[in-house]
Chain A
Amino acid sequence: MHPILDYLWIIPLLPLVGSAINGIFGWNWSKTTINAVALGSTGLSFLCAIEAVREFLDYFAQYHQPFTKHFVDWIVAYKDLTIGFDLQIDHLTVVMLLVVTGVGFLIHIYSTGYMAHEEGYFRFFAYMNLFMFFMLILVLAANYTLLFVGWEGVGLCSYLLIGFYYLRHAAAQAGKKAFIVNRIGDFGFMLGMFLLFRTFHSLDFHTVFEAASQPSVAHESLGQFGVLTVACLLLFMGATGKSAQIPLYVWLPDAMEGPTPVSALIHAATMVTAGVYVVARSHVLFLHSETAMYVVAIVGCATAFFAATIGLVQSDIKKVLAYSTVSQLGYMFLGCGVGAFSAGIFHLMTHAFFKALLFLSAGSVIHAMGGEQDMWHMGGLASKIKVTFWCMLFGTIAIAGFFPFAAFFSKDAILFAAFNSEHGGKALYAVGLLAAVLTSFYMFRLVWLTFFGKNRYDEHHVHVHESPRNMTVPLMILAFLSLTGGWFAFPALFGGKDYFTDFLSPVFASGETAGGEALHSLELALSGVAMVAATLGLIVAWRMYSKDVKRGPETGLHKLLYNKYYVDEIYQAVIVNPLIWISRNILWKAVDEGTIDGAVNGIAYGVREIGDGVRHAQSGNTRSYAVWVLVGAVVVFGIIFWPILHPVLFGGVR
């Protein structure tokens, strides 16, 4: 009845097959063949995803419940631990599914152009397909364990792709950094999973959420540090790792060492949003614990502002976009934190569109500049690469949140939710608004530095040229999407209903903070304020960068910002170095060499000594051996004949 739903595993399987084929046989294949395999698998899984969505909606209309299917038992370890390879689709998954496969597909197309002249072409696409596979597993998983598999898998692919230019030391370092920092988050995530299992004796979403929504559990978690609180915080720790929130955001900017399409796909559109997805997925748990919600909201809000400030002064075009990604993710968490999960997911989707667009455009610019990434060596490109310019401009307007572009709706929804969330909502709103101003400022700064003013590069070496068709077409599609992506919420402006929220309502029905129609006028007002903020940013940027500017000396605050608050150095000093010291001097020297090796060697030495002592019994003299045999015989006979003999020997006694 539902061909794809019944074989849901086909969707993740396709990229995996593509990855395997490319990875194993691609090494001496022509680019065309590799493209065919990579794009074919991704595109097919995109189509399958669309079909799956259609079938799911049909299915939902019938049964009014998420579709879950158990395929095979994976782990059957303990009487109540049975983890199957279960996939599930509900409305949240639908959004993620379409975003991942769709945007992924576009970026694949783009990559065929961007990576055309790179070494390891087949390797790149094998990794990309593998990433798609894991990401799909992540979003389709019906239990935390399988989700964790995808979670780790995307981490692995991110590591591989960041370090794609593994000959560059910086790239390799960045890859390792991303991996390790993620490990810290995953550690928390696993603890959270263990805690959940210990509490609910299961890891299936359905079971856990059912149990969690029991009043008893809710009651149990009322103590602000009940089980659920801790579990949620731990899960959120994982989310901060994966989604680059304070304090674990440091890896994302470095991740820009990877190829630009990677930055677009993994570090903007899909993977980094996994954290948000998890939080949204577990909203049932989060809603039980106000503390956790607060933490999420505050961390998100803080990250949004903090990263935005850093973004203000970066000179590397991709670094700017990286920090903007961090801060946008912060927005998403803010949304989730204040209970507007649908708003968060909404922003996730729109952000996927426009941030992918921005990154790809940046990639196109870099491509045009022949690998130059420093904005201070660009300028005046608008006339030379028109398509890229317009797409970039679209993206900028979209992220800045001008009407009627995507972020206008999504960011608004978040800010509005924050505004009228109880206790302290106003503060969150204020910071969020400030971050919005900064966002539009640094984005327009980027545009001006890149495309306007007189060119600050050497004409003779750099031959600026428009990117090929297979790069520009995805740009246009994404530009269109980032224009229209937000229009689901259009009617809400005029008192209509927010289709997106409506669409997700089956998932988040439980705990959406009411609002909307009730305070319709207020929402309009806040939208206005947001517009003003964006415009403010635009004007400031225009004032500062429209006329050609020299790169000023970094001093004071500027320097502090430019050096990212020295966070990396602080981490290095406070965490990394002590860890290395402990590992080297205590764990290695004392524990390993001293205790363990010492024990082993000591045993060996003792054995040798004993053998050296006993060896003299092995004289090799047959007669001695014979006597030993006799001794043994005496003992054995003595034991056997004891009952008969002891009257003989000790008859006299008693």
Chain B
Amino acid sequence: MSEFLHQYAFLIVPIIKVAILVLVVLTVDAYLTWLERKVIAHIQARWGPHRVGPHGLMQPLADGLKFIFKEDPMPANVDKPAYFIAPFVALMLALTSLAVIPFGPQKFTLWGYESSLGIADVNISLLVLFAITALGVYGVALAGWASNNKYSLLGGLRSSAQMISYELALTLSVVGVLLIAGSFSLREIVEQQGTSNLGFLSWNLFGFGHGIGFTQIIGFSCFFIAAIAETNRVPFDLPEAESELVAGFHTEYASMKFAMFFIGEYTSMVAVSCLATILFFGGWLSPFPASWTFTYYVPSLLFIPFGLWMIYDGIHYENIFGRIVLPGIGTVLTVVGIALILFPPANHLLQGLFWFALKVFIFMFVYIWMRGTLPRFRYDQLMSFGWKFLLPVSIANVVLTSAVILWRMH
């Protein structure tokens, strides 16, 4: 048994990692929807989902079941192959993009096969990521074209145009970071952000790790805006502008196919957030200088109070189910927090993941926040903004950064 494992570890370990990742990502997506609805509701002074489970915590589950069991009608004379392929393309590419993202610093050895946190650790991971993002267009375009529906077609064309337009800005805004890091490997990019002992100041966003002048704030701004556009989110969500295109390219899709688009979108949101975290926010690095060892207890300091609050809040919940579930979760969190204090190795293991997750969560929140806040762009505004403002600015950023680097070299 074990020698079998040892022999084929190079296959088995990645498979396991992929399984775990997919599960996690799907769950995260599901609860992102819940989070989004909740947050927007509260922004709009509503309750949001509140029926299914306490605080509507079971809502995603219900939605999933609904998606699975719903009828899947197919419009007349659509282009079948394209119609079927499109959602798969969308979802698959989105998931694949996560494959090259490193989630933590650690390398561990399982059955004599050394691997890292993260599926594949290729040394051009960033390029691969962009390559996959570039292909992301097809899902939308094909869907829009195949549905044999003018609104869908318009939506598809719009989103494709939007994607390739902002892809340029996206890629170029990253070049600054690449110039500083001198590598395509995300892991190396993160690591070189931690070289100095300045904490968050040495992140590429501020760039003090290398001395004054390497700040990538411009780059980050361009990147984030372009990323939003890439993922068709507000305020760039024209492809699915209900008011004008009745939901754009996925108008004709129902049930599971629609779900695929949906999941794909959220996954790509996650992926982009991870990317932003890695490139500009030091990935899994903690915002404090590495020498401040006491900061290792920050996770616990977050978990324990939150858990205690949940217990307190839970026991006052109106229905019995909630009174059981919420305190349970609270207990778990508190226990984890205490455990982290008690077992430093585990704590050490979790540090990277914690900070990474926290940063990504913040990004997701910003996404949702913007959706609750900003109005939608007009199409021509979108295009002219992308081509006439974003692209030049990111190019200027590249020139600036390379100039600074040259200046520093001499």
A and B touch in the complex (CB under 8 A): no
